[in-house]
């Protein structure tokens, strides 16, 4: 079983304003795109970031072989508990998940 990061070209994350994070999965090929769409449920992603699945927005863009998730930042950017001002590390956590 392979990790997401080993299957796709690139996973990256960043802030989308201070209240949202967005994570882009560049799958690279149509088969990899299909594998991610089938093997990575919204619930799993929500679990990884300890947020409710219904708060996630999922975008599948076949013309670009991209899957994208946006979610409310568990900690608002710049607040005392924020560990990652630009939301940069979230991609690393997602890219280590094993696909179903």
Partner 1 sequence: MRVTGSKWVQSDRYTVKLEGAVVAGYQSVLIALLRDKRYVEKAQAWADDIKEKCTRKVVDRLGILADEFEIELRLIGKNASFGPLETRTNDPHEIGILAIVTAKTQDLATEIAQILNPYLLHHPLTSEEEQPTFAFPFSPADMARGAVYSFCLNHVLELSDPMDAFSLEVLTHG
> Contact 92/3 with Cβ under 8 angstroms?
no
Question: Bridge-partner residues for 12, per DSSP?
Answer: 24
Q: Which residues contact 93 (CB under 8 A, 6 or more apart)?
A: 48, 49
64 binds partner 1, rule: CB under 8 A: no
Q: Does 19 bind partner 1 (CB under 8 A)?
A: no
Contact pick of 34, 74, 75, 86 for partner 1 (by CB under 8 A): 86
Q: Which of 5, 28, 39, 72 binds partner 1 (CB under 8 A)?
A: 5
- Residue 54 engages partner 1 in binding (rule: CB under 8 A): no
Neighbours of 20 (CB within 10 A): 16
CB 71 to partner 1: min, Å: 17
Q: Which of 47, 64, 93, 98 binds partner 1 (CB under 8 A)?
A: 93
CA 71 to CA 93: how far, in whole Å? Answer: 14
């Amino acid at each position: 079983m392979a990790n997401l990061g080993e299957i796709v070209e690139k996973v990256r994350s960043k802030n989308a304003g201070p209240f949202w994070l967005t994570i882009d999965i560049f799958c690279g090929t149509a088969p990899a795109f299909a594998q991610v769409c089938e093997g990575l449920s919204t619930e799993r992603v929500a679990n990884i970031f300890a947020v409710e699945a219904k708060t996630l927005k999922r975008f599948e863009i076949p013309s670009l072989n991209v899957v994208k998730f946006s979610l409310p930042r568990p900690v608002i950017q710049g607040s005392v508990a924020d560990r990652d001002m630009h939301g940069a590390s979230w991609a690393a956590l997602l890219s280590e998940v094993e696909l179903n």
